[in-house]
Protein backbone atom coordinates (compact mmCIF):
# COMPACT_ATOMS: atom_id res chain seq x y z
CA UNK A 1 0.00 0.00 0.00
CA UNK A 2 1.40 3.36 -1.00
CA UNK A 3 0.90 6.37 1.28
CA UNK A 4 0.03 9.89 0.18
CA UNK A 5 3.43 11.12 1.40
CA UNK A 6 5.24 8.43 -0.60
CA UNK A 7 3.27 9.30 -3.71
CA UNK A 8 4.06 13.01 -3.21
CA UNK A 9 7.78 12.22 -2.92
CA UNK A 10 7.67 10.14 -6.11
CA UNK A 11 5.82 12.99 -7.83
CA UNK A 12 8.48 15.47 -6.68
CA UNK A 13 11.25 13.29 -8.13
CA UNK A 14 9.38 13.10 -11.43
CA UNK A 15 9.07 16.85 -11.60
CA UNK A 16 12.83 17.25 -11.02
CA UNK A 17 13.28 15.20 -14.20
CA UNK A 18 10.60 17.31 -15.95
CA UNK A 19 8.35 14.27 -16.41
CA UNK A 20 4.74 15.09 -17.20
CA UNK A 21 2.01 14.22 -14.69
CA UNK A 22 -0.29 13.40 -17.58
CA UNK A 23 2.03 10.66 -18.82
CA UNK A 24 3.37 9.49 -15.46
CA UNK A 25 0.09 8.95 -13.72
CA UNK A 26 -0.42 8.02 -10.06
CA UNK A 27 -0.97 4.42 -11.21
CA UNK A 28 2.48 4.24 -12.84
CA UNK A 29 4.11 5.89 -9.83
CA UNK A 30 2.42 3.54 -7.40
CA UNK A 31 3.60 0.53 -9.39
CA UNK A 32 7.19 1.82 -9.48
CA UNK A 33 7.19 2.63 -5.77
CA UNK A 34 5.74 -0.84 -5.09
CA UNK A 35 8.53 -2.53 -7.07
CA UNK A 36 11.31 -0.61 -5.30
CA UNK A 37 9.75 -1.05 -1.85
CA UNK A 38 9.45 -4.79 -2.46
CA UNK A 39 13.02 -5.06 -3.78
CA UNK A 40 14.26 -3.42 -0.57
CA UNK A 41 11.81 -5.30 1.66
CA UNK A 42 10.65 -2.04 3.24
CA UNK A 43 7.20 -0.96 4.41
CA UNK A 44 5.92 2.41 3.09
CA UNK A 45 7.03 4.47 6.12
CA UNK A 46 10.54 3.03 6.09
CA UNK A 47 10.79 3.32 2.31
CA UNK A 48 9.76 6.98 2.46
CA UNK A 49 12.46 7.86 4.94
CA UNK A 50 15.02 5.94 2.85
CA UNK A 51 13.89 7.75 -0.26
CA UNK A 52 14.17 11.16 1.39
CA UNK A 53 17.72 10.58 2.54
CA UNK A 54 19.27 8.41 -0.16
CA UNK A 55 19.99 9.96 -3.57
CA UNK A 56 20.91 6.59 -5.07
CA UNK A 57 17.51 5.22 -4.14
CA UNK A 58 15.91 8.33 -5.66
CA UNK A 59 17.69 7.62 -8.95
CA UNK A 60 16.63 4.00 -8.83
CA UNK A 61 12.99 4.96 -8.43
CA UNK A 62 13.13 7.38 -11.38
CA UNK A 63 14.98 4.69 -13.37
CA UNK A 64 11.92 2.45 -12.87
CA UNK A 65 9.86 5.00 -14.79
CA UNK A 66 12.18 5.75 -17.70
CA UNK A 67 11.32 4.32 -21.09
CA UNK A 68 14.57 3.38 -22.83
CA UNK A 69 13.02 1.70 -25.84
CA UNK A 70 15.26 2.53 -28.81
CA UNK A 71 16.95 0.85 -31.75
CA UNK A 72 19.48 1.56 -34.47
CA UNK A 73 18.26 3.59 -37.46
CA UNK A 74 14.96 4.13 -35.65
CA UNK A 75 12.26 5.36 -38.07
CA UNK A 76 14.83 5.09 -40.93
CA UNK A 77 14.03 8.40 -42.65
CA UNK A 78 15.76 10.68 -40.10
CA UNK A 79 19.02 8.84 -40.75
CA UNK A 80 18.52 8.79 -44.51
CA UNK A 81 17.83 12.52 -44.34
CA UNK A 82 20.87 13.12 -42.10
CA UNK A 83 23.19 11.24 -44.49
CA UNK A 84 21.81 13.18 -47.48
CA UNK A 85 22.11 16.50 -45.67
CA UNK A 86 25.71 15.82 -44.67
CA UNK A 87 26.52 15.10 -48.31
CA UNK A 88 24.71 18.18 -49.59
CA UNK A 89 26.46 20.37 -47.04
CA UNK A 90 29.80 18.89 -48.08
CA UNK A 91 30.68 17.63 -44.60
CA UNK A 92 33.13 14.95 -45.63
CA UNK A 93 35.43 17.76 -46.79
CA UNK A 94 34.56 20.34 -44.11
CA UNK A 95 36.02 20.78 -40.64
CA UNK A 96 34.91 18.99 -37.49
CA UNK A 97 31.26 17.98 -37.28
CA UNK A 98 29.70 18.21 -33.81
CA UNK A 99 26.53 16.24 -33.11
CA UNK A 100 24.46 15.69 -29.96
CA UNK A 101 22.12 12.79 -29.23
CA UNK A 102 19.92 13.77 -26.27
CA UNK A 103 18.44 11.61 -24.93
CA UNK A 104 20.53 8.70 -26.16
CA UNK A 105 18.92 5.83 -24.14
CA UNK A 106 21.24 2.80 -24.60
CA UNK A 107 23.38 4.43 -27.29
CA UNK A 108 21.54 3.21 -30.41
CA UNK A 109 20.79 6.70 -31.74
CA UNK A 110 24.25 8.14 -31.02
CA UNK A 111 25.98 5.23 -32.73
CA UNK A 112 23.56 5.42 -35.68
CA UNK A 113 24.61 9.07 -36.12
CA UNK A 114 28.28 8.11 -36.04
CA UNK A 115 27.84 5.22 -38.49
CA UNK A 116 25.83 7.39 -40.90
CA UNK A 117 28.58 10.02 -40.95
CA UNK A 118 31.43 7.51 -41.29
CA UNK A 119 29.58 5.74 -44.05
CA UNK A 120 29.37 8.81 -46.25
CA UNK A 121 33.05 9.49 -45.80
CA UNK A 122 33.36 11.80 -42.80
CA UNK A 123 36.66 10.90 -41.15
CA UNK A 124 36.46 9.48 -37.61
CA UNK A 125 38.79 12.26 -36.44
CA UNK A 126 36.43 14.89 -37.92
CA UNK A 127 33.24 13.86 -36.11
CA UNK A 128 32.49 14.43 -32.47
CA UNK A 129 29.31 12.84 -31.03
CA UNK A 130 28.08 13.70 -27.53
CA UNK A 131 25.31 11.60 -26.02
CA UNK A 132 23.31 12.47 -22.90
CA UNK A 133 20.72 10.59 -20.87
CA UNK A 134 19.38 10.46 -17.34
CA UNK A 135 19.50 6.69 -17.14
CA UNK A 136 22.64 5.13 -15.68
CA UNK A 137 21.42 1.70 -16.81
CA UNK A 138 21.09 2.97 -20.36
CA UNK A 139 24.51 4.63 -20.32
CA UNK A 140 26.16 1.46 -19.02
CA UNK A 141 24.72 -0.54 -21.92
CA UNK A 142 25.68 2.25 -24.32
CA UNK A 143 29.31 2.23 -23.24
CA UNK A 144 29.48 -1.55 -23.72
CA UNK A 145 28.30 -1.24 -27.36
CA UNK A 146 26.81 -4.74 -27.36
CA UNK A 147 23.28 -5.30 -28.64
CA UNK A 148 20.71 -8.00 -29.32
CA UNK A 149 19.79 -8.53 -32.97
CA UNK A 150 16.43 -6.86 -32.31
CA UNK A 151 18.19 -3.51 -31.78
CA UNK A 152 19.72 -3.80 -35.27
CA UNK A 153 16.51 -4.68 -37.09
CA UNK A 154 16.28 -1.38 -39.02
CA UNK A 155 19.99 -0.88 -39.61
CA UNK A 156 21.01 -1.30 -43.27
CA UNK A 157 22.70 -4.67 -43.71
CA UNK A 158 25.82 -3.06 -45.13
CA UNK A 159 26.36 -1.06 -41.94
CA UNK A 160 25.70 -4.06 -39.73
CA UNK A 161 28.23 -6.14 -41.65
CA UNK A 162 30.85 -3.37 -41.63
CA UNK A 163 30.67 -2.23 -38.03
CA UNK A 164 29.40 -5.17 -35.95
CA UNK A 165 30.81 -8.57 -35.06
CA UNK A 166 28.39 -11.34 -34.10
CA UNK A 167 29.37 -13.01 -30.83
CA UNK A 168 28.86 -16.73 -30.04
CA UNK A 169 25.82 -15.93 -27.88
CA UNK A 170 24.07 -14.25 -30.85
CA UNK A 171 24.58 -10.67 -29.66
CA UNK A 172 26.39 -8.07 -31.76
CA UNK A 173 29.45 -6.11 -30.67
CA UNK A 174 30.04 -2.70 -32.19
CA UNK A 175 33.58 -2.01 -33.43
CA UNK A 176 35.51 -0.64 -30.40
CA UNK A 177 36.71 2.31 -32.51
CA UNK A 178 33.08 3.35 -32.89
CA UNK A 179 32.36 2.77 -29.21
CA UNK A 180 35.16 5.15 -28.30
CA UNK A 181 33.90 7.64 -30.91
CA UNK A 182 30.93 8.71 -28.76
CA UNK A 183 31.19 10.61 -25.48
CA UNK A 184 28.40 9.41 -23.15
CA UNK A 185 27.46 11.43 -20.10
CA UNK A 186 24.68 11.38 -17.54
CA UNK A 187 22.59 14.55 -17.69
CA UNK A 188 19.18 15.68 -16.59
CA UNK A 189 17.88 17.51 -19.65
CA UNK A 190 15.28 19.22 -17.45
CA UNK A 191 18.13 21.19 -15.89
CA UNK A 192 19.16 24.42 -17.57
CA UNK A 193 22.58 24.18 -19.19
CA UNK A 194 22.69 20.40 -19.78
CA UNK A 195 22.74 20.89 -23.56
CA UNK A 196 24.45 24.30 -23.66
CA UNK A 197 27.48 22.92 -21.78
CA UNK A 198 28.77 21.12 -24.89
CA UNK A 199 27.49 23.64 -27.47
CA UNK A 200 27.71 24.64 -30.24
CA UNK A 201 26.44 21.65 -32.22
CA UNK A 202 25.96 21.33 -35.97
CA UNK A 203 23.18 18.79 -35.47
CA UNK A 204 21.08 17.86 -32.43
CA UNK A 205 18.89 14.77 -32.32
CA UNK A 206 16.26 15.15 -29.60
CA UNK A 207 13.77 12.38 -30.29
CA UNK A 208 11.12 10.74 -28.21
CA UNK A 209 11.71 12.66 -25.01
CA UNK A 210 9.59 15.79 -25.43
CA UNK A 211 6.43 13.65 -25.40
CA UNK A 212 7.26 12.62 -21.82
CA UNK A 213 8.01 16.11 -20.49
CA UNK A 214 5.77 18.68 -18.86
CA UNK A 215 4.96 21.76 -20.92
CA UNK A 216 7.33 24.21 -19.26
CA UNK A 217 10.33 21.83 -19.30
CA UNK A 218 9.64 21.05 -22.94
CA UNK A 219 9.54 24.72 -23.94
CA UNK A 220 12.67 25.57 -21.99
CA UNK A 221 14.61 22.60 -23.36
CA UNK A 222 13.62 23.35 -26.96
CA UNK A 223 14.76 26.95 -26.54
CA UNK A 224 18.10 25.82 -25.10
CA UNK A 225 18.56 23.27 -27.89
CA UNK A 226 17.84 25.86 -30.57
CA UNK A 227 20.29 28.30 -29.01
CA UNK A 228 22.90 25.50 -28.88
CA UNK A 229 22.79 24.94 -32.66
CA UNK A 230 25.14 26.70 -35.03
CA UNK A 231 23.21 28.98 -37.43
CA UNK A 232 22.13 26.75 -40.30
CA UNK A 233 22.52 23.69 -38.03
CA UNK A 234 19.86 20.98 -37.87
CA UNK A 235 17.45 19.79 -35.18
CA UNK A 236 15.96 16.32 -35.62
CA UNK A 237 12.84 15.51 -33.60
CA UNK A 238 10.60 12.48 -33.23
CA UNK A 239 7.67 12.25 -35.63
CA UNK A 240 5.11 13.15 -32.98
CA UNK A 241 7.16 16.11 -31.79
CA UNK A 242 7.51 18.25 -34.92
CA UNK A 243 4.44 20.34 -34.10
CA UNK A 244 6.17 21.74 -31.00
CA UNK A 245 8.68 24.07 -32.64
CA UNK A 246 6.39 26.72 -34.09
CA UNK A 247 7.65 29.62 -31.95
CA UNK A 248 11.35 29.03 -32.47
CA UNK A 249 13.73 30.43 -35.10
CA UNK A 250 13.66 27.15 -36.99
CA UNK A 251 12.60 26.34 -40.53
CA UNK A 252 11.30 22.93 -41.57
CA UNK A 253 13.63 21.36 -44.11
CA UNK A 254 12.23 22.03 -47.54
CA UNK A 255 12.11 18.44 -48.79
CA UNK A 256 8.90 17.39 -47.13
CA UNK A 257 10.44 15.74 -44.05
CA UNK A 258 8.35 16.48 -41.02
CA UNK A 259 11.00 15.85 -38.39
CA UNK A 260 14.01 18.00 -39.36
CA UNK A 261 14.45 21.74 -38.86
CA UNK A 262 17.26 24.16 -39.59
CA UNK A 263 18.20 27.01 -37.29
CA UNK A 264 17.70 30.24 -39.17
CA UNK A 265 20.73 32.37 -39.82
CA UNK A 266 20.53 35.91 -38.41
CA UNK A 267 20.15 37.34 -41.93
CA UNK A 268 17.35 34.95 -42.90
CA UNK A 269 13.92 36.52 -42.89
CA UNK A 270 11.21 34.74 -40.93
CA UNK A 271 9.15 33.01 -43.58
CA UNK A 272 6.20 30.71 -43.37
CA UNK A 273 6.89 27.00 -43.42
CA UNK A 274 6.56 25.51 -46.86
CA UNK A 275 3.72 23.13 -47.45
CA UNK A 276 4.79 19.52 -47.57
CA UNK A 277 4.48 17.56 -50.79
CA UNK A 278 3.06 14.35 -49.40
CA UNK A 279 3.24 12.65 -52.75
CA UNK A 280 6.98 13.25 -53.00
CA UNK A 281 7.61 12.38 -49.36
CA UNK A 282 5.55 9.20 -49.62
CA UNK A 283 7.81 7.80 -52.31
CA UNK A 284 10.73 7.72 -49.91
CA UNK A 285 8.88 5.86 -47.18
CA UNK A 286 9.62 2.21 -46.66
CA UNK A 287 6.53 0.08 -46.71
CA UNK A 288 4.92 0.11 -43.29
CA UNK A 289 2.25 -2.09 -41.69
CA UNK A 290 -0.46 -2.29 -44.29
CA UNK A 291 -4.05 -1.31 -43.65
CA UNK A 292 -5.47 -0.67 -47.09
CA UNK A 293 -9.00 -0.09 -45.96
CA UNK A 294 -9.92 3.36 -44.62
CA UNK A 295 -10.93 3.04 -40.97
CA UNK A 296 -13.46 5.83 -41.22
CA UNK A 297 -15.05 8.19 -43.67
CA UNK A 298 -12.87 11.27 -44.03
CA UNK A 299 -16.01 13.32 -43.90
CA UNK A 300 -16.92 12.01 -40.44
CA UNK A 301 -18.86 14.17 -38.03
CA UNK A 302 -15.80 15.50 -36.22
CA UNK A 303 -13.70 16.34 -39.27
CA UNK A 304 -12.05 19.75 -38.75
CA UNK A 305 -13.85 22.94 -39.72
CA UNK A 306 -12.45 25.89 -41.73
CA UNK A 307 -11.86 26.66 -45.39
CA UNK A 308 -8.73 24.54 -45.90
CA UNK A 309 -10.23 21.69 -43.90
CA UNK A 310 -13.41 21.87 -46.02
CA UNK A 311 -11.28 21.86 -49.17
CA UNK A 312 -9.41 18.76 -47.95
CA UNK A 313 -12.73 17.06 -47.14
CA UNK A 314 -14.16 17.88 -50.57
CA UNK A 315 -11.07 16.49 -52.30
CA UNK A 316 -11.26 13.36 -50.17
CA UNK A 317 -14.95 12.96 -50.99
CA UNK A 318 -13.98 13.04 -54.65
CA UNK A 319 -11.45 10.27 -54.00
CA UNK A 320 -8.50 12.66 -54.55
CA UNK A 321 -6.76 11.57 -51.36
CA UNK A 322 -3.25 12.71 -52.24
CA UNK A 323 -4.37 16.23 -53.08
CA UNK A 324 -6.49 16.24 -49.93
CA UNK A 325 -3.41 15.22 -48.00
CA UNK A 326 -1.37 18.09 -49.41
CA UNK A 327 -4.00 20.55 -48.24
CA UNK A 328 -4.29 18.88 -44.83
CA UNK A 329 -0.52 18.73 -44.33
CA UNK A 330 -0.04 22.38 -45.20
CA UNK A 331 -2.89 23.29 -42.85
CA UNK A 332 -1.21 21.31 -40.12
CA UNK A 333 2.09 23.15 -40.66
CA UNK A 334 0.40 26.56 -40.85
CA UNK A 335 -1.56 25.96 -37.68
CA UNK A 336 0.58 23.60 -35.61
CA UNK A 337 -0.60 22.07 -32.37
CA UNK A 338 -4.23 21.48 -33.42
CA UNK A 339 -5.44 17.96 -32.65
CA UNK A 340 -8.22 18.14 -35.27
CA UNK A 341 -5.66 18.80 -38.03
CA UNK A 342 -3.59 15.80 -36.97
CA UNK A 343 -6.75 13.71 -36.91
CA UNK A 344 -7.63 14.74 -40.47
CA UNK A 345 -4.11 13.82 -41.62
CA UNK A 346 -4.53 10.46 -39.87
CA UNK A 347 -7.82 9.76 -41.64
CA UNK A 348 -6.22 10.55 -44.98
CA UNK A 349 -3.23 8.30 -44.31
CA UNK A 350 -5.68 5.53 -43.47
CA UNK A 351 -7.53 6.21 -46.70
CA UNK A 352 -4.22 5.98 -48.57
CA UNK A 353 -3.41 2.68 -46.88
CA UNK A 354 -0.48 3.89 -44.76
CA UNK A 355 -1.42 2.57 -41.34
CA UNK A 356 1.94 3.48 -39.80
CA UNK A 357 1.62 7.15 -40.73
CA UNK A 358 -2.04 7.17 -39.70
CA UNK A 359 -1.09 5.79 -36.34
CA UNK A 360 1.54 8.48 -35.82
CA UNK A 361 -0.93 11.19 -36.76
CA UNK A 362 -3.51 9.93 -34.24
CA UNK A 363 -0.78 9.72 -31.60
CA UNK A 364 0.15 13.33 -32.31
CA UNK A 365 -3.50 14.33 -32.00
CA UNK A 366 -3.77 12.54 -28.66
CA UNK A 367 -0.54 14.04 -27.51
CA UNK A 368 -1.96 17.49 -28.23
CA UNK A 369 -5.36 16.68 -26.80
CA UNK A 370 -5.49 13.49 -24.72
CA UNK A 371 -9.31 13.70 -24.69
CA UNK A 372 -9.62 13.69 -28.49
CA UNK A 373 -12.17 10.87 -28.72
CA UNK A 374 -12.18 10.31 -32.51
CA UNK A 375 -8.39 9.89 -32.58
CA UNK A 376 -8.56 7.53 -29.65
CA UNK A 377 -11.20 5.52 -31.45
CA UNK A 378 -9.28 5.34 -34.77
CA UNK A 379 -6.01 4.54 -33.07
CA UNK A 380 -7.53 1.72 -31.05
CA UNK A 381 -8.99 0.26 -34.27
CA UNK A 382 -5.55 0.36 -35.86
CA UNK A 383 -3.99 -1.26 -32.81
CA UNK A 384 -6.64 -3.97 -32.88
CA UNK A 385 -6.03 -4.64 -36.55
CA UNK A 386 -2.28 -5.00 -35.98
CA UNK A 387 -2.83 -7.54 -33.20
CA UNK A 388 -2.12 -5.17 -30.31
CA UNK A 389 -5.35 -5.86 -28.52
CA UNK A 390 -3.98 -5.09 -25.08
CA UNK A 391 -2.73 -1.65 -26.08
CA UNK A 392 -6.01 -1.00 -27.83
CA UNK A 393 -7.94 -1.93 -24.70
CA UNK A 394 -5.68 0.26 -22.57
CA UNK A 395 -6.25 3.15 -24.93
CA UNK A 396 -9.99 2.68 -24.74
CA UNK A 397 -9.75 2.79 -20.98
CA UNK A 398 -7.75 6.04 -21.46
CA UNK A 399 -4.75 4.74 -19.58
CA UNK A 400 -1.29 5.72 -20.86
CA UNK A 401 1.29 2.95 -21.00
CA UNK A 402 5.00 3.17 -20.31
CA UNK A 403 5.77 4.02 -23.92
CA UNK A 404 4.22 7.42 -23.56
CA UNK A 405 1.18 9.10 -24.96
CA UNK A 406 -0.81 5.96 -25.57
C1 LIG B 1 12.35 6.53 -25.67
S2 LIG B 1 13.98 6.96 -25.22
C3 LIG B 1 14.49 7.87 -26.66
C4 LIG B 1 15.85 7.47 -27.12
C5 LIG B 1 16.23 7.91 -28.52
N6 LIG B 1 16.34 9.35 -28.62
C7 LIG B 1 15.24 7.39 -29.53
O8 LIG B 1 14.46 8.17 -30.08
O9 LIG B 1 15.23 6.18 -29.76
C10 LIG B 1 13.68 8.23 -23.99
C11 LIG B 1 14.91 8.47 -23.12
O12 LIG B 1 14.73 9.70 -22.43
C13 LIG B 1 15.47 9.59 -21.23
N14 LIG B 1 15.03 10.66 -20.31
C15 LIG B 1 13.83 10.83 -19.71
N16 LIG B 1 13.83 11.94 -18.95
C17 LIG B 1 15.06 12.50 -19.09
C18 LIG B 1 15.67 13.67 -18.56
N19 LIG B 1 15.01 14.49 -17.74
N20 LIG B 1 16.95 13.93 -18.89
C21 LIG B 1 17.63 13.10 -19.73
N22 LIG B 1 17.11 11.98 -20.27
C23 LIG B 1 15.83 11.69 -19.95
C24 LIG B 1 15.16 8.19 -20.76
O25 LIG B 1 16.13 7.71 -19.84
C26 LIG B 1 15.16 7.41 -22.07
O27 LIG B 1 16.41 6.80 -22.29
Integer angstrom CA distances of residue 231 from 203, 244, 361, 392: 10, 20, 30, 43
Q: In the predicted model, what is the mean pLDDT of the chain?
A: 84
Give domain 77-263's CATH number out of 1.10.357.10, 3.30.70.150, 3.30.450.20, 3.40.50.150. Answer: 3.40.50.150
Closest CA to 399 of 30, 1, 109, 54: 30
Which band of pLDDT confidence, cut at 50, 70 and 90, is reported for residue 286? Answer: very low
Integer angstrom CA distances of residue 326 from 7, 48, 253, 348: 47, 54, 16, 10
Which ligand 1 atom is nearest residue 190's CA? 19
Which band of pLDDT confidence, cut at 50, 70 and 90, is reported for residue 399? Answer: low
Distance 110 CA to ligand 1 centre (A): 12
pLDDT for 403 beyond 50: no
pLDDT for 71 beyond 90: yes
Closest CA to 111 of 91, 88, 131, 132: 131
User: Is there a contact between 325 and 258 (Cβ–Cβ < 8 Å)?
Assistant: no
Please compute the mean of the pLDDT values over residues 326-346 and round it to a whole number: 83
Q: Which residues contact 13 (CB under 8 A, 6 or more apart)?
A: 58, 61, 62
Category of 18 on φ-ψ map: left (φ > 0), alpha (ψ -120 to 50) or beta: left
119 phi/psi in degrees, rounded to 5: -65, -25
Distance 207 CA to ligand 1 centre (A): 8
Distance 134 CA to ligand 1 centre (A): 7
The predicted structure's pLDDT at residue 51: 95
The predicted structure's pLDDT at residue 355: 82
The predicted structure's pLDDT at residue 307: 74
The predicted structure's pLDDT at residue 274: 32
Please compute the mean of the pLDDT values over residues 377-400 and round it to a whole number: 77
For ligand 1, whether the C-beta of 189 sits within 6 Å is yes
Which ligand 1 atom is nearest residue 213's CA? 16
pLDDT for 31 beyond 80: yes
Domain 287-396 has CATH 3.40.50.300: no
Please compute the mean of the pLDDT values over residues 130-137 and round it to a whole number: 98
Cα within 13 Å of Cα(266), Cβ side: 2
Distance 211 CA to ligand 1 centre (A): 10
For ligand 1, whether the C-beta of 14 sits within 6 Å is no
For ligand 1, whether the C-beta of 188 sits within 6 Å is yes
Which band of pLDDT confidence, cut at 50, 70 and 90, is reported for residue 268? Answer: low
Alpha-carbon 73 to chain mean position? 13
Distance 376 CA to ligand 1 centre (A): 25
Q: What does DSSP assign to residue 286?
A: P
Distance 43 CA to ligand 1 centre (A): 30
Separation CA 252–CA 225 (nearest Å): 15
pLDDT for 242 beyond 70: yes
The predicted structure's pLDDT at residue 131: 98
For ligand 1, whether the C-beta of 32 sits within 6 Å is no
For ligand 1, whether the C-beta of 221 sits within 6 Å is no
For ligand 1, whether the C-beta of 65 sits within 6 Å is no
CA-CA-CA-CA dihedral for 217, 66, 141, 55, to nearest 10: 80
| pLDDT tens digits along 75-103 | 999 999 999 999 999 998 888 999 999 99
Helix axes 4-16, 55-65, angle to 10 degrees: 80
Closest CA to 329 of 382, 264, 282, 261: 282
Amino acid sequence: MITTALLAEARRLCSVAGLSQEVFTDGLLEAAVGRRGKALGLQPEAFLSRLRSDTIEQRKLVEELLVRESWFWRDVRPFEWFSGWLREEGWPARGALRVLSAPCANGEEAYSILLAALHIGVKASAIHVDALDLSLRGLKLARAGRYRSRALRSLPEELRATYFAELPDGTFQLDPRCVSGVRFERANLAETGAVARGAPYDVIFCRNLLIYLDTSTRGRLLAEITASLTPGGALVLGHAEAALVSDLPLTAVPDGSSFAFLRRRATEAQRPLRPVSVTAAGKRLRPSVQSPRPQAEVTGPVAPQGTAASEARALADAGRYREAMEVAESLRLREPGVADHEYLVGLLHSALGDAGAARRAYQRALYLDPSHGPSREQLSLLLDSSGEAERAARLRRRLPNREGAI
